[in-house]
Each structure stands twice: as C-alpha cells, then as structure tokens.
Chain A
Amino acid sequence: MSAGALLLWVVIPYVALTIFVVGHVWRYRRDQFMWTSRSTQMLESRWLRWGSTLFHYGTFLAIGGHVIGIAIPAAVPDAFGIDEEGYHLISVSAGTLAGVLVLAGFVILLYRRLRFPRVAATTTRTDLVAYGALTVALVTGVIATSGWNLFVSGYDYRETVAPWFRGIFLLDPNPELMTEPPLIYQIHALSAWLLYAVWPFTRLVHAWSFPIQYLGRPYILYRRRYAPARTGGG
C-alpha cells in the first residue's frame, strides 16, 4: 500500500469527517443566527420554481440511490433475488433519472444566480465554495453513473467503492480497494469528502433543519418570557 493511497483513501476521508462533525458542532453552537437556507425566492421566483424543485427532489433521489448502492452491502439485494444484472439495470436507469433532475436543476440555479443581478448580489464567497464542490461531485457522479455505464463499460462499484466507504465508518479502512476503480469513480469519491469538509461552513447546513417535526406540532405556539416563579418555598 502506497503512501499516496493511504493519504487519498484514509487520511482525507477521516480529516473531512472530522471537519464535518466538529465544524457542525462549532457552527451550531456559535452561529444560530446565520443558520438558514438564505432563500432568494423573493428576489427571483420564476426560475427558482423549476431550478430549486428539480434540484432538491433530484437530490433526494440521488441520496436514496447512494444509500442503496453504497451503504447497503450487495448481499442484501441478493437475498431479495436481485442479482448484479438486475441491480445494474435499476441503478443505471434510476441513477440517470436522478442525475438528469439534479443536473438540470443545478444548471438552472447556476444560470439564475449569474443572470439576475439581484440574486448575484446576495452571493457570498462560501456560496461559491459550495457551488464549486457541488459541481465537481455532480458532474463526476453523472459521468460515472450514466456516461460510464452507457458508453464505456459497466463498473461494479459494489465490489470496491462500497466496501471501502463502509470500512471508513466501521473504522476498518481498506485503501487497497480504491486503487482499482476507474479514475472518474475515484474523483467522484474524493469530491464527496470535499463536499463534507465545506458543508458546515456554507448554507448547505440548512439541510439538517428540514422541519419534519412540523408534521406533529400544534399550530399555535406560546412562550413565556420567564420561567414561572416557584411557589411554596420550593
């Protein structure tokens, strides 16, 4: 095992994850005020309608695909009678759909941000970083899923990328696995760590605030200015 492989496939992931976790804790504790989606809908709504909707729903689909393909071992679909060929068919078609949705949404959002001065004026440097990291992850992901499978030759990442990724979290990293995949898969994997590392410092943090608790909440909320005074000498 070379030092390069160790750096790329073990050190970088753990550094990125550490930044991800510590960064989020730090930001959540000291910066509730800027923890927001920082929506620009009121500045421009027409393009956002399609851009944002396609991007977000496409992202949900893509995340779901990654969970099924990477986080869940190949043995699980096998047990349900889905062999490599069947899995491949599903992953390429659903993955391509997700990729097209996300990419279309992303391009619309990017165009909108550059085209409309009102939106452009709200762009911060951290937004550019987030856009940059997303661009790399997205483009390499779409090429790997659709381009590679449709135009080059299929690649079974469930033999290499997936176990390596799981190994990181099981504290049993195996960098050897990642020397084998095609370059596009390697870049895509690395881009994910870049994304995780910048995540806590950008507006991407709003993802963790998706208000699912709203579904089970009473409508009207009251708050007291102070805790009630204790009575009875307590």
Chain B
Amino acid sequence: MHVKAQVGMVMNLDKCIGCHTCSVTCKQVWTNRHGAEYIWFNNVETKPGVGYPKRWEDQEEWQGGWELDRKGRLRLKAGGRLKKLLQIFWNPDLPEIDDYYEPWTYDYEKLTTAPLSEHDPVARPKSQLTGKDMSIKWGPNWDDDLAGAPEHALRDPDLEGLGEQVKLEYEQAFMFYLPRICEHCLNPSCVASCPSGAMYKREEDGIVLVDQEKCRGWRFCVSGCPYKKVYFNHNTGKAEKCTLCYPRIEAGQPTICSETCVGRLRYLGLVLYDADRVEEAASTPDEKDLLDAQLGVFLDPEDPEVRAQASRDGIPDDWIEAARRSPVHALALRYRVALPLHPEFRTLPMVWYVPPLSPVANAFEHAEPGDPDDVFPAIDALRIPVDYLANLLSAGDAEVIRGVLKRLAAMRSYMRRKEVGRRPDAGLAEAAGMEPADVEAMYRLLAIAKYEDRYVIPQAHTELAGRLMEQQGTCGLDFEGGPGNCGAVPASEPATNESFMLTDMAEGRMPAEAAANDEPDDQPLRLNIVEMLERGSRAAPEAEA
C-alpha cells in the first residue's frame, strides 16, 4: 500500500441551473488571452447534446483514453509509443478548431466611430483567428437548453441504444446540465500520451498540470484525453488545461468555478488512495466493474491502519484529518450517490457527479410517501431515462443509477415526512440500504450544503520544502529512506517502459509549475524576443472588449 492524497470534486447535478457562471469566471481568470479564446477549462453542456468539442464522448471517433488489449493489458486507445512517434508529424485523432468553434469578437469600435448616417451602425463579428469578418456557425454553447435539438441532440453519443425512450417533442423532452472541468484522473491518459514528459500529476494533491517550459507542442495530450480537456493554444503552440486553480487550492481555497457557483453544487475534498492499485483497477476486465474497482482504490481514512500508512508515506496529519471530513469521500464512498463521468474511459477520473432527480419530482409527489414500494418503482418512470444516465455515469449499468436515485429519493421522502411533523420513517431509509442518521447527514451535505462542509481543503505545507538554502546544489534524493542517487527512479525499479509509473523525483527543485499559464501575454519576461515581438502586430484583435 502506497497512500497518496488527491483533491477531488463532486458536482450535484440536481442543482445545476446552467447559468455558466463557473465557465465565465474560469475564463476571466485563466483563458482570457490571445490563442486561448476558444479554450474553456470549465464549460457547461446541455444533455442530451453533442458537447464541446462536438461528440467528444465518442472514443471510436477520437481514440482517447485507455483500452484493454487481447491479453487484457492496459494500453492507450490511440496506440503505443512507437505509433505515436511515427504519427508525430500529423496526428490522426486531433480535433480541429471547428470541432470546438471558431472564436470571435465584435467590432465594437464601429458603434462609436461610425459617422452620422441614416441607419444604425452595426458591430460585425470578427474572427479571433484571422481578424477578418466571419459568419458565426457554431459556438461554445450552440445547443444550450436544447437549442436546435431536433437537428443536433440525437447525435449525442450517450443516446446510443436508447431508441424509443428518447423523445424530443417539446412535451416529452428532458434535459439537464453537465458542468465539466479536467478530471485530474488517477490514471491520466494525457500524461501517458505526452511524448515530451511535460505533463505530470502532482504527488501531493494529484493535480494534473502541463509544464509550459517542457511542452513542445506535439499535441498528443489533446487527442489522448477522452474528456477533451487538454487544449492547444494556437498562439503559443503549447498545451493548456484546467489547473484546478492550484494557487487557490494550495491556499486552502476552493477553485474559482466552485467559489462562484450560484447553485452551490460543487464539493471539494481529499480522497486518500492506494497508488499501487491504480493500474490494476484501470485494467478491470468488465467496464461495469470499473466503478467498484475505483472505489476499491480509495482508502478509508477512518481506518487506523490507513492513517498510519498515510503518515509513513509523508501525508501531513492535518491532511489526514481533512480526508476524514472530506465531502467527496462521503458522497462517493459513504453514501454512494456520486459517480464518475464515463468510467469506461479507464482513466479513473476524480471529478464525480450526483445524478439529477429533480425534473421528475412529480413522479414522487403522486406516489404514496408512506410506502417505499410506491416510491421506488417511480424511478423508472423518471423523465430522464435511467439508461441515459447509465451511459453517462456508470458504463451503461442501469442498476447503479437506480441505486443512487433510490437513495436520493428515499432521502427526500424521509426528510419531507420529518419536516412536516410526521414521524420519520426509518423503513424508507432501510429500503434504500441506509441508516436514518446517514440519511440526515447526507441531507445536511446535499441540501443545507454549508460552505465549510462543501469545501474541506487543507493548505499546502510549504514548510515541507525543507531547508532550501541548504539543499542548493545537492542531490534531491539524498534523504533518509530515499534511493540515495540522482536517478529519476528508485534503484529497485529500473526506468523501462515496463514500469507504469515514474515518480519524477529528479525534479527535486521546485518545478516551473505551468508557469506560463498565468503569465499575461504581453509580459516580456523569459519569452523569446525574436518571436514575441511579432505577436504584438498580429492581425487578430484583442480578446474581450
């Protein structure tokens, strides 16, 4: 057992109203720059819908994530290392900008500078790629709220196999919102796909980052990520991705998308997991067992043995305590109401979702609340088909979805009876496999959702940096119990491609963590003067007015 800590997220889809505040605040903070206009580290999709980029969920088309070969071994779906190097001059699986959308702005200046004329002046759309006039054909939320659904929504890959269940007539249509960020996976295929070794997962908190100084723009991370959450900046020629707002996380603050979420639907907390069992879990033969396999990788911080091992593995005490109070651990493991997005991609994602129930509250209102047998059959009468949610959140296993919806429905009925002054019905909780106390705790977490319960984020320990002055020029591995040499890998584990994971401890010094991500474009520091001078005179107009 090798205990690592990971900052995970859970989003309660019941509460998402699709306001896009998370997307907008994220963009203002991270991607409000030339070259990143089309990039949304956080975006909100209407489901059913094609998504951003279009049909990203269809891995037969995009070849992202992992698959098992005939012998059951885990391999990148797009092919191994040699195949990648041979295709490096043209990546067959890379989305084009039109799969996202062509970014644009408006010629706002025209509105104030146009001479007096009979007709009002018009602000024409200008492409942010070329600076020229353009006609807008697609945008970051073109199918928002099922807009154009008869034309687009049926192309949603999650609708596969649902056939007659899905109707798009107004009276029968269903929809819900799916906010998406990087999954900060335990088994990230973007990191595995990066030929330069520029992408990495942080030991301390599991955040996946791109080292902007090491990225050489080979763009296999973009195609390798099945969630299409690594983006290519066409100005810098480098990959960029959601950073989980690591500067805020390190300070114990929630990410911008979480902090500004109007529906207060996001939860952030630690999950302890066993790094030694990640590969085995991702190699689980049956896709439908991947959820349980991933839950099996998570460790219970209430277990004294886990806590002792975590301590031995260098996890600070306050982090272990924070893991015990983690809302993510509670929703995923204790109450089992959170589910990973597309577990069949085999990346072991760490942003999980509580499936939505609310559009169909009616189905329960009409049922006799006293009798659990009347509540639960209604789940299959829900407007959002269980099979659709199963395609999204449980690799097609409808039973998993039914179980989660049952627990959520039972919580509602139980609490309603309690709040209207009747006797709480323990039978309701038991029928959903829960203790009454758990139901009430889950209610507090999901419905009351206090700020301090939603975000349990321990601060980073800068004091663990050790005595940096003293360590200058010394070997970063020269510590007690360390391998004692400056190789990148412990001596017991030679650096062949047989070893699946590499702890890059040669990076003993503080790496330039996605350093350029937060550097504004016009900052001349450490940029090549020759090429950068020319960027000022570029055709494309400035991003937002």
Selected interface stretch from A8-16, A28-36, A134-142: A28-36
Cross-chain contact of A220 among B81, B201, B468 (Cβ < 8 A) = B201
Cross-chain contact of B90 among A48, A210, A230 (Cβ < 8 A) = A48
Contact A221 B191 (CB under 8 A): yes
Contact A35 B90 (CB under 8 A): no
- B501-542 Cβ-contact flags toward A at 8 Å (1 or 0): 111110111110100100000000011101110110011100
Tell me the complex Cα distance, A229–B203, Å.
Answer: 14
Contact A229 B464 (CB under 8 A): yes
Contact A225 B479 (CB under 8 A): no
Interface of B is mostly: loop
Contact A34 B96 (CB under 8 A): no
* Residue among A38, A43, A49, A220 with most chain B CB within 10 A: A220
**What are the 6 A-B residue pairs with the smallest beta carbon separation, nearest first?**
A38-B237, A211-B195, A219-B192, A229-B466, A32-B213, A36-B217
B236 to chain A, nearest CB (A): 7
Residue B295, interface by CB 8 Å? no
CB within 8 Å of B: which A181-234 residues = 201, 203, 206, 209-232, 234
B208 to chain A, nearest CB (A): 10
- B465-487 Cβ-contact flags toward A at 8 Å (1 or 0): 11110110000101110100000
Residue B360, interface by CB 8 Å? no
* Residue among B82, B187, B214, B471 with most chain A CB within 10 A: B471
Selected interface stretch from A121-129, A151-159, A169-177: A121-129
Contact B203 A223 (CB under 8 A): yes
Given contacts A223-B507, A227-B479, A229-B463, 17 further A-B contacts (CB under 8 A): A30-B526, A33-B212, A38-B236, A39-B217, A41-B91, A43-B129, A55-B89, A118-B97, A118-B130, A121-B130, A126-B530, A213-B197, A219-B192, A219-B497, A224-B204, A225-B460, A229-B467
Residue A27, interface by CB 8 Å? yes
Tell me the complex Cα distance, A39–B89, Å.
Answer: 9
Contact B217 A31 (CB under 8 A): no
Quick one: given A126-B530, A223-B507, are A215 and B85 in contact (CB under 8 Å)?
Answer: yes
* Residue among B84, B96, B188, B219 with most chain A CB within 10 A: B96
Cross-chain contact of A214 among B85, B89, B132 (Cβ < 8 A) = B85
Residue A42, interface by CB 8 Å? yes
Nearest chain-B residue to A216 (Cβ)?
B497
Task: Enumerate chain B interface residues (CB-CB to A < 8 A).
Answer: 76, 81-82, 84-85, 88-91, 94-97, 127, 129-132, 187-188, 191-192, 195-197, 199-204, 212-219, 222, 232, 234-238, 278, 314, 460, 462-468, 470-471, 476, 478-480, 482, 489, 495-497, 499-505, 507-511, 513, 516, 526-528, 530-532, 534-535, 538-540
Residue A93, interface by CB 8 Å? no
Cross-chain contact of A206 among B216, B500, B507 (Cβ < 8 A) = B216
Contact A228 B531 (CB under 8 A): no
Tell me the complex Cα distance, A126–B516, Å.
Answer: 22
**A39: which B residues are within 8 A, CB to CB?**
217-219, 232, 237
Tell me the complex Cα distance, A35–B204, Å.
Answer: 29
Can you pick out 26 interface pairs between chain A and chain B where the beta carbons lie within 8 Å of each other? A27-B528, A33-B236, A33-B238, A34-B236, A36-B236, A39-B232, A43-B234, A48-B90, A55-B89, A117-B129, A117-B130, A126-B530, A126-B534, A211-B196, A212-B85, A214-B81, A217-B81, A217-B495, A218-B496, A218-B501, A220-B187, A220-B278, A222-B203, A224-B202, A224-B204, A228-B479
A206 to chain B, nearest CB (A): 6
Nearest chain-B residue to A227 (Cβ)?
B508
A12 to chain B, nearest CB (A): 22
A119 to chain B, nearest CB (A): 9
Quick one: given A117-B132, A219-B192, A220-B192, are A33 and B527 in contact (CB under 8 Å)?
Answer: yes
Contact B534 A125 (CB under 8 A): yes
Contact B202 A32 (CB under 8 A): no
Quick one: given A38-B217, A211-B85, A227-B471, are A33 and B528 in contact (CB under 8 Å)?
Answer: yes
Contact B480 A232 (CB under 8 A): yes
Tell me the complex Cα distance, A223–B214, Å.
Answer: 13
Contact B527 A36 (CB under 8 A): no
Tell me the complex Cα distance, A234–B482, Å.
Answer: 13
Contact B465 A37 (CB under 8 A): no
Cross-chain contact of B204 among A38, A121, A124, A225 (Cβ < 8 A) = A225
**A225: which B residues are within 8 A, CB to CB?**
202-204, 460, 465, 510-511, 513
Quick one: given A27-B528, A214-B81, are A227 and B219 in contact (CB under 8 Å)?
Answer: no
Count of chain A residues near B, Cβ 8 A: 60
B512 to chain A, nearest CB (A): 8
**A66: which B residues are within 8 A, CB to CB?**
none
Cross-chain contact of A42 among B192, B199, B219, B527 (Cβ < 8 A) = B219
Contact A220 B501 (CB under 8 A): yes
Tell me the complex Cα distance, A31–B532, Å.
Answer: 11
Cross-chain contact of B218 among A52, A121, A211, A228 (Cβ < 8 A) = A211
Tell me the complex Cα distance, A227–B222, Å.
Answer: 30
Contact A118 B129 (CB under 8 A): yes
Tell me the complex Cα distance, A53–B90, Å.
Answer: 7
Contact A221 B187 (CB under 8 A): no
Tell me the complex Cα distance, A27–B199, Å.
Answer: 22
Nearest chain-B residue to A209 (Cβ)?
B216
Tell me the complex Cα distance, A25–B14, Å.
Answer: 56
Contact A223 B504 (CB under 8 A): yes
Quick one: given A118-B130, A126-B530, are A228 and B466 in contact (CB under 8 Å)?
Answer: yes
Quick one: given A52-B89, A228-B482, are A211 and B216 in contact (CB under 8 Å)?
Answer: yes
Quick one: given A34-B527, A122-B235, A226-B466, are A231 and B497 in contact (CB under 8 Å)?
Answer: no
Tell me the complex Cα distance, A55–B335, Å.
Answer: 57
Tell me the complex Cα distance, A189–B199, Å.
Answer: 41
Tell me the complex Cα distance, A122–B534, Å.
Answer: 10
Contact B528 A37 (CB under 8 A): no
Tell me the complex Cα distance, A53–B87, Å.
Answer: 8
Quick one: given A224-B507, A229-B464, are A37 and B84 in contact (CB under 8 Å)?
Answer: no
